[in-house]
Every structure is written in structure tokens, then in C-alpha cells.
A and B are shown apart, each in its own frame.
Chain A
Amino acid sequence: MNSPILVAENIGVQFDAFTALKNVSVAFKARQLTAVIGPNGAGKSTFFNVVSGSLIPSTGRIRFNGQDITGAKQHEFARMGIAKSFQITNVFPQLTVGENVRLAAQMRRSRFGLLVPRQSMTDLIVLAESLLERVGLAKAFHLPARDLAHGQQRCLEIAMALACDPKLLLLDEPTAGMSPEETLDMMDLITRLAEERTVILVEHKMKLVMGICQRLIVLHHGELLAQGTPNDIRANYEVKRVYLGQKV
């Protein structure tokens, strides 16, 4: 039994005269790695912003675990268990790497006293250490986040997204700006993450995701062009036409 964890129904986004998304309906199954792909300007980022809570759609509804969450605020999305990483690296630059993750993990405490020292919550610090270990940044615990290389900052972002133990992990082009080796490591990490939770990945480079995802959603000109398994998509004539010249 694999019911959808996230359902987007008839999502439409209108920016003045420009239609960024038109009637996109997609259901994402739990514990799967789904990739949203499409050429530039396909509406991938707009779609990502809608399902991650930073943009309220002009039309349509979003359901998370059966609950209508359309119009909820960004922090409410996070509290419900939808974590995200941004396309442009987005960390707390002057805080230490450890504090970045610890602060993200602190959200698990629904209430905290104004006068309790944060160092006394040792479990959160231990958690931050283990998450950083996982993304390969354990040694950087005491460094300011701004001192990390670009690829490391992206890994830090993943650790921060994991820190609140999300039910759904949304990643917006996690390999953007990475070197080929870093990209491979990141894909490897994402594959391992997807073994234990639902991951939705927005990616421009189709080749990258073909091998690792269970399902693909193809957007084109703000519309849903195709969806299915990587094999379905590979065989899809429309997709081939859109990605003309690219070997699918």
C-alpha cells in the first residue's frame, strides 16, 4: 500500500500576464525518489516553490498526507514535515557549521524556555554532529558556514533539511554549480536518503536523475508533459521532441 504523500491538484500560477504553471496535477508517492525535470522555463522552480510553501498558487490545491495545506505559511510547511533546500545556496553564513544544523534541529522542540541555555540541549548537538558526519562535514563543525566551499555548503543545506526529520524532502537543483566529482557524491547521498524517506528533486539535467529516481515528472511550458518511470519517459516521443538534440 503506497498512498500519495503529496498531491498537487490543478496547480496554476499566474504572474501578471505570464502564466508560469497551467493546471498541473501530480501525486507523489511516499518513500519514492521523484524527479521533476524539464527544459529552462518549464516552470520547475515555480512548481517547487508552490509545493515547498514559498509561493501560494493562483489556482488549485495542495494536499499533504490528505490534509489541505494550500496557503499555509513557509514555517508551517516546515513544521508539518516538509523540508527544502534552495536552488541558490542558503545557509546562515556567519554561524558555525555545527550551529547551522543545531538551529535547524532545534525546531523539533515545539516549546523552549527563554532562559534555558541552548548548550544544555546536548541531544541536538549530538544530532547535528551525526548529520554532519553523514554528509561528510564532521570536521567542519566549528568553522563559520561562509568558509565552506560551494559544494560543501550544499551538503550543509541537506544536513539542515534533514535536521528536522522531514517526512518529505524537497531539493531544488542540488547539484547546481558543482564539480563532476561533487555531483556524483551528491547523487550518491540523495540515493541513500531516498531509501528512508520521500524525496522530490527538481533537476535541469535529465541524465543525472534517470539512473536514480523511481519516477519522473516532465514539465514543459508550465504544463505537465509526461510522467512515469524512467523507462516510460525514455520511450516518450513528446519528451524526446522537447529535449531535442539531447540523448535521452
Chain B
Amino acid sequence: MSSIDITDVVSPRGAPQGSRTVLQRSMEFITRHRVAAVIALLVLLPWLVPYEALAVNILIFGLFAVGFNLLFGYTGLLSFGHAALFGSGSYGAGIAIVHFGWPWWLAIPAGVTLASLVGLVIGYLAIRSRGIYFSMVTLALAQCVYFAFYKAGRYTGGEDGLRGITVDVINVFGWRLDFLHPTTKYFVLLVFVAAALWFISRVLASPFGAVIEGIRENERRAAACGYDVAATKLIAFVISAAVCGLAGTLRALHLSTVPIESLHYLTSGHVVMMSLLGGMGTFFGPFVGAAFVLLIEEFATNFTKYWQLLVGLVFVVFVLFFPRGIWGSILHWLGRR
């Protein structure tokens, strides 16, 4: 846990002015306007990657990783069960559309609500334990969620996943958008991702953001300062669940189906890997990590059928030699100069 976002450092009279390079100054500018910087990059993303479906995936998994990182990087809780929240978001939105015939704009809050409720239950039970036990409890409870959705085949489609989430036209105040067009779809989803990023950024900059960092740094001290550690952790867990759930709902709209794998523990592992590779406890890190992992997988699957071996190798190299992750290492390197 050695990467800290520059913006988290409170400076009353501005940071001490020293001799700084143009690079450092522009990095400070980026971190100060971190939401705008991410959105600017995401607007360009469809033209930076080989094809648009990959851009949509980076968008969705980036948001998933940002939500996960709120708990992992900022609160210091390693959950191995975040697939349950991501998947609940997907299924919540999917079931609302397929079985209840709700419009897409109602399906999104439905998915987010379901994910938050699942997060409330998992969080409530898991925060009683610490460290590795916390991770194991989240993993076990997420498996329970997996089997519950697996068995409830009437609503979820069971093994085949939930199919038929068709949203082809999006009507925004009389303005009809063709949701089947990849670029249009990307930008519609981007609106939601941008809103969520703004929200997370505000939460991190708020006094609450300071408290969760305090808990990550030193739980006993935080309690001695008068903060209710258990309640704070639970709130952080639910906020994280809501954001990951939103990522899930967007994925359901994007794929038109919900594969049962979205609840699988490999999905939980995926998001841990993205956060670690990108740089946990930094605002940009999770997005960088999501893009990096998805691009590597894309490249490796074209290159060899043993692509997982390559991905695993990259992961091991990073954990051993760049434990701060890509973005965390960049920040650290710039901070030292």
C-alpha cells in the first residue's frame, strides 16, 4: 500500500513550490482535474483501440475496477467476492427488462439497487472479520450468490445465462439514438460512467474519503479518533457495490445477455488483477489496469492458445517488480524526481 493519489494530500496554502519539471506540473494538473482527464481519455478511446467492442469493455471493466478500488485501494479491504455485485447489477437490470418489461432507464437503477442490497448483506457479514478472513468470507458469500442465481433458472436462465435483453433504440427526451450502433452505444454508456466517476471522485475528496483512508492506514487509530470503523466500512462496501453494480447493468445493456460467468469467482479475480496492475489506491490506476489487462488478453488470444499463461506471467512480473502497479509506479517515479 504505497501509492497515494497526489490529490489526497491536503494542502492549505498550495503545495510547497519548488523546482518542478513540466512533466510533474502537467501530472499535477491531471490529478487536480482527474475526472475531466479520465473522461477526455475515454472520449478518445474508441479510436485508440482496434475495435469498439473492446473500448466498451474497457469502459465497463474500468468502472468495475474503480468501484472495487474504493474498497481495496482506499479502505484497505480486499474483497474476493465483487463478481456477486457486478453480476447482481447485470441480472437486476436484465430481469427488469426481460421479465417485467421495464424501460432501460428504469432497469439501470433496478440493477444498481439489487447490487447495493447484495453488497449490504455481504458487507454486513464480512466486515466482522479482518484480513484474509474478510477475503474468504466475501468469496464464500459470492459463491452463495452464484448458486442462488444459477438455481433460479426461471428468472435468470441458469446455466445459459439471461437472454433477450433487447434495447435497440434509446429515447432521450424525444431524441432517438440507435443503441445498436457501436459508437452511439459507447457514448451512451460513457455518460453513466462519467457520472459515476464524478461521484467517486467527490466521495474520495470528501471527509468520508479521509476517514476510509484513515481506516486503511490504521484502524485502531481511526477508532481512537472517534470514527465508527464498522459503520464506515459498511458504507464504503455499499458505495463500492453500487458502482460495481452500475458497471454490471451497463454490461447487460451492452451484451444484451447476462452470462452466468459474470458471477463467477474468476470475475472477482479479474477485477483484483486489474486494480493491482493499474495501481490500487490511485484514481486512474483501475482504468489503466482494466485497459492493460483487456488489451493483453486481446493480444495474447490472437497470438497463442495458452494466452492465460502469458497473462499470468505479466501479473507475476508486476507483483514482484512493480508492486505499485502501472499508474502507481508512474506517480511514485514522478514524486521522487
Contacts and interface: CB of A to CB of B under 8 A. Distances in A.
Given A75-B229, A94-B2, A107-B227, A115 B203 contact: yes
9 contacts: A74-B220, A75-B225, A92-B213, A93-B218, A94-B2, A96-B10, A102-B210, A106-B207, A119-B205
B228 A95 contact: no
B205 A118 contact: yes
Interface string A112-152: 11111111011001100100000000000110000000000
Nearest to B228: A75
Contacts of A94: 1-2, 4, 217
B221 A90 contact: yes
B218 A122 contact: no
User: Which range contains the number of B residues in contact with the other chain?
Assistant: 20 to 34
3 A-B pairs with the lowest CB-CB distances in the bound complex, closest first: A78-B226, A92-B217, A107-B226
B223 A119 contact: no
Contacts of B8: 95, 99
B10 A107 contact: no
A118 B2 CA distance: 22
Contacts of A83: 224
A160 B207 CA distance: 16
Contacts, number: 115
B12 A98 contact: yes
B44 interface: no
Nearest to A110: B226
B217 A118 contact: no
Contacts of A103: 210-211, 213-214, 225
A107 B229 CA distance: 13
Nearest to B16: A142
Tell me the interface secondary structure of chain B in the complex.
helix
Given A91-B218, A103-B214, A78 B207 contact: no
Contacts of B217: 92-95
A107 B15 contact: no
Given A115-B206, A117-B202, A142-B11, A104 B225 contact: yes
Contacts of B10: 96, 98-99, 102, 118-119, 125
B46 interface: no
Interface of B: 1-2, 4, 8-12, 15-16, 199, 202-203, 205-211, 213-214, 217-218, 220-229
Interface of A: 52, 54, 73-75, 78-79, 83-84, 86, 90-96, 98-99, 102-104, 106-107, 109, 112-119, 121-122, 125-126, 129, 141-142, 160, 163-164
B208 to A, nearest CB: 5
A164 to B, nearest CB: 6
Contacts of A115: 199, 202-203, 206
A138 B4 CA distance: 22
Given A103-B210, A112-B206, A118-B207, A129 B221 contact: no
B2 A117 contact: no
Nearest to B1: A94
B202 A84 contact: no
B218 A160 contact: no
A95 B214 contact: yes
A121 B224 contact: no
Contacts of B11: 98, 142
A142 B205 contact: no
Contacts of A75: 223-229
A130 to B, nearest CB: 11
Contact of A107 (B1, B203, B225): B225
Contact of A106 (B1, B15, B199, B211): B211
Nearest to A122: B12
Contacts of A74: 220, 223-224
A220 B258 CA distance: 67
